[in-house]
Chain A
Amino acid sequence: MTKIKSLADLKKMKEDFQSKIALREKSEKPEGRVLIKVAMATCGIASGAKQVMEFLIDELDKRNIDAIVSQTGCMGYCYAEPTVEVTLPGKEPVVFGYVDEAKADSIIEKYIKNGELLEGIIPVNYETID
């Protein structure tokens, strides 16, 4: 395939984008979506949050998991960055720390697909030291 270089090239792909969205909307209910937040403050970015965010966006798409990936600020767990918060439909949010690509991969395969918990979860009652 030739490389996309201009807005005209991008416009040509509009139908591809739309059919992909339509396909997903047909098969999934919006309430069944997984919500993922990647912490993107200075601490997160310096520790590799961009790479983790790109990995999650691409891999969830490739593995056909309907998820919304967004960013959040610093949650106060700077020591454990990059951190990722995952909310499965109907469940409480879970925050994972020290997430790299390998960890992000297990989050998708184990937690998102099967609901299995992994090591490195930051407990909700954890408080930062003042």
Chain B
Amino acid sequence: MKDLSLHVLDIVQNALAAGAEQVRILVEESVPRNCLVIAVEDNGKGMSQDVLDRVTDPYFTTRTTRKVGLGIPLLKQNAEQCGGGLLIESAPGRGTRLVAEFVRDHIDRPALGDMPGVVAMLSGINQDRDFIYHHRVDERDYCFDTREVKQILEGVPLGEASVMRSIREMIGENLKDLEKAE
């Protein structure tokens, strides 16, 4: 993956496949603690201990179209190469929480990438699900919630190209502010 936002896009697909109605994406950057944490939490069907033990194995997948499953292994490798690691908590019926941690200034840490684009796209093409995107930089934070957006837009589909562009711009402007104050 070229950047971390693409890992998020990929990991969220797992949550969607698990039937999650709500997916929470958290990005937390801390300069003093020199870390960058990405968490994806869903209220999907969860995994048994047996499945959980095998998800980081690249030769494990629930798909039948191919025999490898690289989404989680690639993120794990990336996090470990950057002095961090990956943690997954899950239980059947209780959803899944995945946390990837990176050393923020590690030379190999990929750029965060286009989070506004990823969140706008996920919201637009999965209108039957809800996404909450929380971005924290030190003490400042921004929270985007599709439930609020759906409420104010009163039935306008989030998948409209113009709506997706506007959501992307809105998130982007807010993230710029988070960085600026640094």
Contact = CB atoms under 8 A, between A and B. Distances in A.
A20 B162 contact: yes
Interface in B2-56: 6, 9-10, 13, 17
A46 B73 CA distance: 13
A118 interface: no
Please report whether the interface of chain A is mostly helix, strand, loop or mixed according to DSSP: helix
Given A14-B152, A43-B70, A74-B65, 20 more contacts: A3-B169, A3-B173, A7-B152, A10-B167, A11-B153, A14-B153, A14-B154, A16-B162, A17-B163, A20-B162, A40-B9, A40-B13, A42-B69, A42-B71, A45-B9, A50-B114, A53-B125, A69-B125, A70-B125, A73-B17
Contact of A5 (B66, B165, B173): B173
Interface of A: 3-7, 9-11, 13-14, 16-18, 20-21, 40-43, 45-46, 50, 53-54, 57-58, 60-61, 68-71, 73-76, 78, 128, 130
Contacts, number: 103
Interface residues of B, number: 41
